[in-house]
Structures are given as C-alpha cells and as structure tokens.
Amino acid sequence: MKEVRSQESGARSHSDEWLLSTEYFLVKLYCRAVQSVEFTTSLALGMVAFPIALAAPVSALQVRVTPANPQLGDTLSVVVQLDNPAGSKASLPSSPTLAFGQKTYPTFLIAPNQFRAFLPTTPLDKAGTKLLRVTSDAQVQNLSVLVRNHSFPMQRITLPPGKSGLDATEYEMSRVATFKQLETPEKFWNGPFLKPNQGAITTIYGVRRAYNGVLAKDYYHRGIDYAGAEGSPVIAPAAGRVALVGRVSQGFRLHGNCVGIDHGQGVTSIFMHLSRINVKEGDFVQAGQVIGAVGSTGAATGPHLHWGLYVQGKSVDPVPWRNHKFN
C-alpha cells in the first residue's frame, strides 16, 4: 500500500465511532439427527436470542456471531459450540468449517467442543446480507448475516501526468504475502490490543483514494497511521511471534524497514516505515514490548508508523481490536 502522508490531512480519527457491542446474537438450532434439515435464520438488527425447537434435540450446533451489528471493516467472530458432538465421547470432534460469501475459513479450538473463526470484512466488500454456512460432521447450518455499509473518507489526489507511486518489489510482495497467510493454530494474544505508538492518529483505516478524480478501485488504507516522532518507540500491540523482518537493504522499497507479528489463528500485524528494528524473526514478543522505532523508510514522505492488522490475509479495522476483547 502506498503512503502519502502529506495528502492525508482530510482524514480524522473515528476511534470513538466504533460502537462497542457486547450484545450477543445467540442462535440455537436443534437438528434432528435422522433428518438432514437445514435452517436459514436471519440475524436482523434488534433480534434477540431465539431457540427454535422443531423436534426433540438429538444433537445441536450453537453458533454465535459478533458483533451484533457489523459494518464493513469489522472482524466477525463466529463461535461454534458442539453440544453433543457426533461419535463416541472418546473421539475428538473435528473442526467445523465455515463458508462465508465465496470463501471458506478454518475454525480453531478455543475451549472443549468450542471452535471459533474470524471472518474479515473490508471496504472493498459489498454491504448486505451474506450467507454463513457452518458445517460440522453431518450437520449443516445456514445463517444470514447483515453487514452494514460504512462510508469511508476519500482522499483526492492530483498526480502530474505520467507520475505514479513507488512500486513494491516482487521480493517484498512475496515475503509479505506469505506472512499474511499464516494460520498458526495457537492463539498468542490476550485482551484488547494496545496502541503501538503514542503519536496522534493521522490516517484512519479504510480511507479510499481518487487519483485525478478516478477512484482507485482496489485501494483502501490498510491500517492506521500514527504520527509518532522519528525514533519514538513502536510496541507490539499484542503478543506473538515475529514472523517477518524486512529491510530496505533487502528490497523492501514500499514497506521500508518493517516487522510482522503473527498473533496466531490467522491474525497478523505489520509495522512499516521503521527507522530501527529491535527484534529478529522467530522472537516471541509480549504485548507492550518495543519492537522498533518510528521512521520514514520506504514509501513515506515523513516519519510515521503504519500499523496494518490482518485477519485471514485481509486488512481489517484495528479499532475494534483495540477496544474489544477478541479473546
């Protein structure tokens, strides 16, 4: 992603616009084991938990989707509880799989018989009702989840003819792409994510761009910019394993000196434009540990920290992760 700080003045922080939602949508559907019946349940705004008991339950899948009223950029947490897993008690239930939109997502064991998947949404997605299909052994449930639109700010940038931004090298793109695809089964983070730098937020997540009046269709600001002073500390917002250290000298032309932290279960963070790197690949870092310092390496016109948070390879809004416990 390209960083043009001087043109980001139109952005503003919306960290307080995130509506912290502790309300859970609880959908409990009982399926007769002998009949393979599928139910479609609409998770509409304001609807409360409603068990539908169509028959004496033989086995049950309990699915909980949060936040209750998601908007584009949010991370959906889908928790699947297997009340009565198929097979004998001695056998471990297999991980349910989730299909959301056109993609399938892995689930990770978070408690006995309880699995979770994080589903990313981004400004490039279409708002509206999306099908969520949960499959566990012989049971299938179809839910529909309404993802609201969100109006992201637009930066209007005028470029002289023939001028384009600084391109990433193939080397850095491949290293970063590999990093973002990590799906480590362990969960390393605990509690809300910390602010990685004390500087003011200069560009929020999701800002779109128009160059010479034409919307850059695939562009959105894939993270948050902090205007920390050159050399000010960058800390790990949450624990994890350092899975990427990239340097300008190796060809990280766009990202600059950067660090990538694998928080586990498909959640990764990248920190760009660093002047100094304090960690090496393979290190395990704790939340709050200094991993580097703010700089202006790579495609940056001045010192700032860019923090990108990725879920299943997609850049999501970090704000809910700062305010909300995705534990």
CB 221 within 8 A of CB 204: yes
The yes or no reply on residue 74 touching Zn ion (CB under 5 A) is no
Neighbouring residues of 45: CB distance < 8 A, sequence distance ≥ 6? 68, 69, 146
Whose CA is closest to 245, among 167, 309, 172, 318?
A: 172
Closest distance of CB 199 from Zn ion, Å: 12
Tell me how far CA of residue 276 lies from CA of 175, 197, 230, 273, in angstroms. Answer: 19, 14, 10, 9
* Count of residues engaged in binding Zn ion, rule: CB under 5 A: 3
Quick one: 67 or 223, whose CB is closer to Zn ion?
A: 223
Q: How far is the CB of 18 from Zn ion (least distance, A)?
A: 19
- What residues between 3 and 22 interact with Zn ion by CB under 5 A? 3
- Supply the minimum distance, in Å, between the C-beta of residue 273 and Zn ion: 8
Q: Which is nearer to Zn ion, 127 or 173 (CB)?
A: 173
Q: Of the two residues 3 and 262, which places its CB atom closer to Zn ion in the complex?
A: 3
Report how far residue 160's alpha carbon sits from residue 82's, in angstroms, rounded to the nearest whole number: 59
Residue 305 sits at the vertex; the CA angle it makes with 265 and 263, to the nearest 5 degrees, is 10
Nearer to Zn ion, 225 or 262 (CB): 225
Binding mask 198-227 for Zn ion (x = CB under 5 A): ---------------------------x--
Q: How far is the CB of 221 from Zn ion (least distance, A)?
A: 6
Measured at CB, which residue is nearest to Zn ion?
306
Stretch that binds Zn ion, among 1-9, 22-30, 46-54, 83-91 (CB under 5 A): 1-9
Q: Is 233 helix (H, G, I), strand (E, B) or coil?
A: strand
Of 3 and 74, CB closest to Zn ion: 3
The answer to whether residues 134 and 78 touch, using CB atoms and an 8 Å cutoff, is yes
Instruction: For the CB of residue 198, give the shortest distance to Zn ion in the complex, in Å.
Output: 17
Q: Show the site string, 222-261: x = touches Zn ion by CB under 5 A, - = not.
A: ---x------------------------------------
Stretch that binds Zn ion, among 29-37, 251-259, 301-309, 311-319 (CB under 5 A): 301-309
Per-residue 3-state assignment (H helix, E strand, C coil) for 83-130: CCCCCCCCCCCCCCEEEECCEEECCEEEECCEEEEEEECCCCCCCEEE
Q: What letter represents residue 204's amino acid? A: I
The secondary structure of 137-188 as a DSSP string is TTEEEEEEEEEB-----EEEE---TT---PPPPHHHHHHHHHHHT---SSB-
**Distance of closest approach, residue 306 Cβ to Zn ion, in angstroms:** 3
306 binds Zn ion (CB under 5 A): yes
CB nearer Zn ion, residue 28 or residue 255: 255
Residues 110-139 that bind Zn ion (CB under 5 A): none
* Dihedral-angle region of residue 96 (phi above 0 means left; psi in -120 to 50 means alpha; beta otherwise): beta
Closest distance of CB 112 from Zn ion, Å: 41
Give the contacts of 112 (CB within 8 A, at least 6 positions apart).
none
Least separation, in Å, of the C-beta of 119 and Zn ion? Answer: 24
Residues making contact with Zn ion (CB under 5 A): 3, 225, 306
